[in-house]
């Protein structure tokens, strides 16, 4: 296998065999040990024994400098095994990995950290692991400290850090090393949102000099950050291509065809709930100004939701809410009575009807899912899905989920 | 974590298999050097863990290694053991027991570390070789504490060593290579066959009585022939002879064992180097 110019990673028919039976693993190990003592190379895997399975099978791809590859798949699909093989933490049973230049991996959060030592000491320890001298680390020390935002906690033992702090420190050290290749597991999901964005932004800055393999369950991270993505399924590459397509295939795998729409809808709308002892005769639907149920509407028209129910007591803090999602699960907005100035007082044992009005609906064309929720303060009394709403197009072009009223004016015209 | 500048790294099933013994030793030494600061910290952690939560604290780290020696010292004081080969029994015993614990420590430490840290090694990227060295540091500390007691015993019994005892580290060197080599080899084997560590423990329990630690080596009969093939007996006898008699009595046996030690160490380092990544995660 020859590496092409600017290709920094080549993976060819990479396979890793695992066994659920420890005896089988030991048996294979004994054979390898015996062959090693005799100076022979490992025996090719000709047959799989009972209890063995391919954690990865025939995985091939290559990566050029500046590229980022996303790896998605279910739990147990082989994502972390793939990263461990790329990072050299495990040896494959078949196939080959070729890496040009130095690499760094963020697979396990505690990797390379001595938990009893301070954050400061660990910066130098981790640097030593990556082959950096104390002097080299001293040069980048301030940069690491600045990026990690740990403040005085840098003096404290790492064992006192939260997982978010640990991730910040690990990531800061890693990027300061300027590796040619970075393998990142789900770890970026640990930190807070702002720091995650900071990490992604730093990774983007490093894109010209480095290549990345990113394992994530966050489809938005994969979509935003990766040039390509592979979908791993039961250890094999089910798809390789543009992230959007990879995500679509992954979603399809996640929701098998037979139950796809319903399962996906349920996952987006989350568990439904009805405290029938407190709330009864609940009815809610999208409607027009006349109160007639509708399932379609055009962008820009007024949309209404009619809801009626009866409670057996007077809620102290009645809140009604309608969260809205796109068909893909993107959270669009929510309409809540919490924004009302006046409290919502209702009479117990009396059916009450509410009307929500959304003038000039700004949703872009598409199918929208929504819930109707009734809560008494923090306590949910009811949560049920509204009929699906389809928004039809009135204009040829639109972007994103909503089109807000807007106009452009030219204020200054520079004339030579 | 691998870090290699400007060169292509290839990872495949037969990785490391083609590397020779010297490359394996060089790699292991460089790994230990890279992780020297970590080793220091791990040693400190182990040192602290030994007394953590106790009322007497650090005291235990000094006292516990001395317990076996003080038992034999006491027995020699109550005349259970006669003087051996012109050396006071207390000196004979404490010296022999100190060497014995050093040697078996070299065998047992790699077995224990590989067993207990194998899974962790993959997740923490802290190589097993570095963990083993941290274990050896603890063994070295215990040995130094025992040596201090042996010095006190020598002074009180006035069994003065010869000037040739300065050569003791040289005489010890092949012994350490051999037992570390055996330890590395058995450490790997123990992952494949869990019985190994148990068998080793049983053998060592009996071994102390037939290795010239407590009783002098037999000059005649089957046991004397066995002694020639017992590395513990050969090295303990040689070290004791250098310190108290000034010369190794059975030099040919020592020389043969030194040769075996070198071969064993080199082969074991290679075996460990090749198998380290293959045993990862198996406990």
Alpha carbon distance B41, B58 (integer Å): 17
Partner-chain residue, chosen from A30, A42, A87, that has the shortest CB–CB distance to B14: A42
Mean of the pLDDT values across residues B188-211?
A: 93
Partner-chain residue, chosen from B9, B42, B192, that has the shortest CB–CB distance to A26: B192
Residues A146 and A204 in one domain: yes
Residues A60 and A149 in one domain: yes
Partner-chain residue, chosen from B3, B125, B277, that has the shortest CB–CB distance to A90: B277
pLDDT digit string (tens) for B95-111? 999 999 999 999 999 99
How high is the pLDDT of residue A2?
A: 47
Interface predicted TM-score (ipTM) of this complex, two decimals: 0.83
**pLDDT class for A142, splitting at 50, 70, 90?**
very high
pLDDT digit string (tens) for A29-64? 898 899 888 888 777 777 788 888 999 999 999 999
How high is the pLDDT of residue B3?
A: 41
Alpha carbon distance B149, B132 (integer Å): 26
Residue at token pair 């209404």: A304
pLDDT digit string (tens) for A363-389? 988 899 999 999 988 888 999 999 999
Q: B11: nearest CA in chain A?
A: A97
Residues A306 and A382 in one domain: yes
pLDDT digit string (tens) for A244-294? 899 888 888 876 655 567 777 887 887 888 888 889 999 999 999 998 999
Neighbours of A58 (CB within 10 A): 14
pLDDT digit string (tens) for A106-115? 888 777 788 8
Domain membership flag for residue A287: yes
Record: contact B275-A32, CB cut-off 8 A: yes
**Stronger pLDDT, B6 or B232, i.e. the higher one:** B232
How high is the pLDDT of residue A158?
A: 92
Give A150 to chain B, closest Cα distance, Å: 22
How high is the pLDDT of residue B118?
A: 80
Residues A130 and A229 in one domain: yes
CATH (domain of A238): 3.40.50.300
Chain A residues lying within 8 Å of B37, measured CB to CB: 124-125, 128
Examine the pLDDT at A154 and tell me if it is beyond 50: yes
Record: contact A111-B123, CB cut-off 8 A: yes
Query: Picking from A59-63, A101-105, A388-392, A412-416, which range would have the lowest pLDDT averaged per residue?
Result: A412-416
pLDDT above 70 coverage of chain B, percent: 95
Examine the pLDDT at B5 and tell me if it is beyond 50: no
Give A119 to chain B, closest Cα distance, Å: 13
Partner-chain residue, chosen from B3, B15, B41, that has the shortest CB–CB distance to A114: B41
pLDDT digit string (tens) for B164-197? 999 999 999 999 999 999 999 999 999 999 999 9
Record: contact A91-B191, CB cut-off 8 A: no
Q: A98: nearest CA in chain B?
A: B10
Examine the pLDDT at B214 and tell me if it is beyond 90: no
Alpha carbon distance A153, B206 (integer Å): 53
Domain membership flag for residue A413: no
A211-215 and A181-184: which strand pairing? parallel
Q: Does A109 touch chain B (CB under 8 A)?
A: no
Chain B residues lying within 8 Å of A108, measured CB to CB: 123-125
Record: contact A87-B2, CB cut-off 8 A: yes
**The whole model's pTM is what?**
0.73
Residues A29 and A88 in one domain: yes
Residues A176 and A279 in one domain: no
How high is the pLDDT of residue A187?
A: 64
**pLDDT class for A414, splitting at 50, 70, 90?**
low
**Stronger pLDDT, A346 or B135, i.e. the higher one:** B135
**pLDDT class for A415, splitting at 50, 70, 90?**
low
Q: Does A83 touch chain B (CB under 8 A)?
A: no
Residues A36 and A157 in one domain: yes
Record: contact A33-B10, CB cut-off 8 A: no
**pLDDT class for B149, splitting at 50, 70, 90?**
very high
Are the C-beta atoms of A303 and A297 separated by less than 8 Å? yes
pLDDT averaged over chain B?
Answer: 89
Residues A30 and A109 in one domain: yes
Are the C-beta atoms of A54 and A14 separated by less than 8 Å? no
**pLDDT class for B225, splitting at 50, 70, 90?**
confident
CATH (domain of A359): 2.70.50.60
Alpha carbon distance A178, A343 (integer Å): 57
Q: Does A31 touch chain B (CB under 8 A)?
A: no
Domain membership flag for residue A316: yes
How high is the pLDDT of residue A188?
A: 66
How high is the pLDDT of residue A277?
A: 86
Mean of the pLDDT values across residues A182-202?
A: 78
Residues A223 and A283 in one domain: no
Partner-chain residue, chosen from A86, A111, A121, that has the shortest CB–CB distance to B125: A111
Domain membership flag for residue A347: yes
Q: In which domain, by residue range, is A134 found? A: 7-257
How high is the pLDDT of residue B2?
A: 41
How high is the pLDDT of residue B140?
A: 97
Domain membership flag for residue A411: no
Residues A225 and A175 in one domain: yes
Domain membership flag for residue A193: yes
Chain A residues lying within 8 Å of B278, measured CB to CB: 29, 32, 91
Q: A97: nearest CA in chain B?
A: B11
Q: Does A147 touch chain B (CB under 8 A)?
A: no
Most B CBs within 10 A among A35, A42, A118, hence the mutation to make, goes to A42
SS (HEC) of chain A: CCCCCCEEEEEEEEEEEEECCHHHHHHHHHHHHHHHHCCCCCCCCCCCCCCEEEEEEEEEEEEECCCEEEEEECCCCCHHHHHHHHCCCCCCCEEEEEEECCEEEECCCCCCCCCCCEHHHHHHHHHHHCCCCHHHHHHHHHHHHHHHCCHHHHHCEHHHCCHHHHHHHHHHHHHHCCCCEEEECHHHHCCCHHHHHHHHHHHHHHCCCCEEEEECCCHHHHHHHCCEEEEEECCEEEEEECHHHHHHHHHHHHCCHHHHHHHHHHHHHCCCEECCCCEEEEEEEEECCCCCECCEEECCCCEEEEEEEEECCCCCCEEEEEEEEECCCCEEEEEEHHHCCCCCCCCCCCCEEEEEEECCCCECCEEEEEEEEEEECCEEEEEEECCCEEEECCCCCCCCCECCCCCCCCCCCCCC
Residues A51 and A194 in one domain: yes
Chain B residues lying within 8 Å of A98, measured CB to CB: 8-11
Beta bridge partners of A307: A284, A354
Number of separate domains in chain A: 2
Interface residues of B toward A, Cβ cutoff 8 Å, are 1-15, 17, 34-38, 41-42, 44-45, 122-126, 188-189, 191-193, 271, 274-275, 277-282
Domain membership flag for residue A266: no
Examine the pLDDT at B48 and tell me if it is beyond 90: no
Q: Does A118 touch chain B (CB under 8 A)?
A: no
Record: contact B271-A36, CB cut-off 8 A: yes
Domain membership flag for residue A264: no
How high is the pLDDT of residue B1?
A: 37
**pLDDT class for A4, splitting at 50, 70, 90?**
low
**pLDDT class for A3, splitting at 50, 70, 90?**
low
Residues A328 and A208 in one domain: no
Alpha carbon distance B150, A371 (integer Å): 81
């Amino acid at each position: 296998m020859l590496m092409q110019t600017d290709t920094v990673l080549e993976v060819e028919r990479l396979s890793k065999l695992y066994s659920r039976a420890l005896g089988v693993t030991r048996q294979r190990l004994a054979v390898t040990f015996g062959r090693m003592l005799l100076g022979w190379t490992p025996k090719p895997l000709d047959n799989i024994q009972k209890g063995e399975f391919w954690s990865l099978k025939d995985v091939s791809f290559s990566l050029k400098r500046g590229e980022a590859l996303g790896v998605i798949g279910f739990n147990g699909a082989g994502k972390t095994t793939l990263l461990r093989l790329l990072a050299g933490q495990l040896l494959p049973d078949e196939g080959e990995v070729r890496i040009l230049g130095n690499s760094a991996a963020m697979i396990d959060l505690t990797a390379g950290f001595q938990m009893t030592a301070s954050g400061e000491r660990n910066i130098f320890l981790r640097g030593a692991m990556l082959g950096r001298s104390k002097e080299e680390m001293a040069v980048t020390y301030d940069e690491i400290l600045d990026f990690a935002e740990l403040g005085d906690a840098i003096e404290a033992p790492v064992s006192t850090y939260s997982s978010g702090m640990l991730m910040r420190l690990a990531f800061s050290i890693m990027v300061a090393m300027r590796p040619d290749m970075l393998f990142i597991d789900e770890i970026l999901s640990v930190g807070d949102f702002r720091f995650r964005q900071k990490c992604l932004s730093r990774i983007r800055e490093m894109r010209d000099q480095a290549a990345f393999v990113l394992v994530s369950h966050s489809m938005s991270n994969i979509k935003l950050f990766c040039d390509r993505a592979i979908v791993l399924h039961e250890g094999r590459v089910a798809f390789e291509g543009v992230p959007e397509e990879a995500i679509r295939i992954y979603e399809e795998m996640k929701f098998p065809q037979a139950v796809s729409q319903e399962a996906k809808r349920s996952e987006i709308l989350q568990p439904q709930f009805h405290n029938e002892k407190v709330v009864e005769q609940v009815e809610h639907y999208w409607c027009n100004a006349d109160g007639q149920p509708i399932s379609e509407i055009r962008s820009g028209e007024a949309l209404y939701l009619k809801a009626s129910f009866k409670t057996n007591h007077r809620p102290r803090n009645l809140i009604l809410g309608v969260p809205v999602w796109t068909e893909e699960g993107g959270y669009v907005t929510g309409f809540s009575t919490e924004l009302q100035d006046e409290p919502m007082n209702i009479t117990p044992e009396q059916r009450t009807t509410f009307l929500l009005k959304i003038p000039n609906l700004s949703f872009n064309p598409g199918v929208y899912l929504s819930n109707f929720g009734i809560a008494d303060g923090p306590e949910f009394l009811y949560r049920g899905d509204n009929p699906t709403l389809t928004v039809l197009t009135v204009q040829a072009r639109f972007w994103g989920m909503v089109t807000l009223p807007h106009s452009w004016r030219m204020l200054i015209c520079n004339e030579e | 974590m691998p870090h290699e500048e400007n060169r292509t790294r290839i990872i495949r099933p037969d990785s490391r298999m083609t590397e020779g013994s010297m490359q394996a030793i060089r790699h292991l030494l460089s790994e230990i050097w890279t992780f020297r600061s970590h080793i220091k910290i791990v040693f400190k952690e182990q040192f602290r863990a030994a007394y953590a939560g106790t009322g007497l604290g650090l005291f235990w780290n000094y006292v516990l290694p001395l317990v076996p020696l003080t038992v034999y010292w006491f027995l020699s004081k109550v005349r259970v053991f006669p003087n051996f080969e012109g050396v006071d029994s207390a000196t004979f015993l404490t010296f022999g027991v100190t060497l014995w614990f050093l040697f078996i420590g070299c065998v047992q430490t790699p077995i224990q570390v590989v067993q207990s840290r194998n899974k962790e090694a993959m997740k923490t990227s802290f190589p097993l070789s570095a963990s083993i060295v941290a274990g050896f540091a603890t063994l070295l500390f215990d040995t130094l504490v025992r040596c201090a007691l042996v010095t006190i015993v020598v002074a009180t019994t006035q069994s003065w060593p010869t000037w040739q005892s300065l050569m003791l580290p040289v005489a010890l060197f092949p012994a350490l290579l051999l037992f570390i080599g055996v330890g590395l080899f058995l450490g790997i084997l123990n992952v494949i066959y869990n019985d190994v560590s148990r068998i080793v423990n049983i053998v060592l329990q009996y071994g102390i009585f037939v290795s010239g630690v407590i009783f002098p080596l037999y000059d005649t009969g089957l046991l004397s022939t066995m002694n020639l093939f017992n590395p513990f007996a050969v090295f303990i006898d040689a070290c004791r002879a250098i310190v108290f008699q000034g010369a190794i009595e059975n030099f040919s046996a020592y020389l043969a064992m030194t040769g075996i030690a070198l071969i064993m160490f080199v082969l074991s380092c290679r075996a460990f180097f090749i198998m380290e990544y293959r045993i990862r995660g198996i406990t």
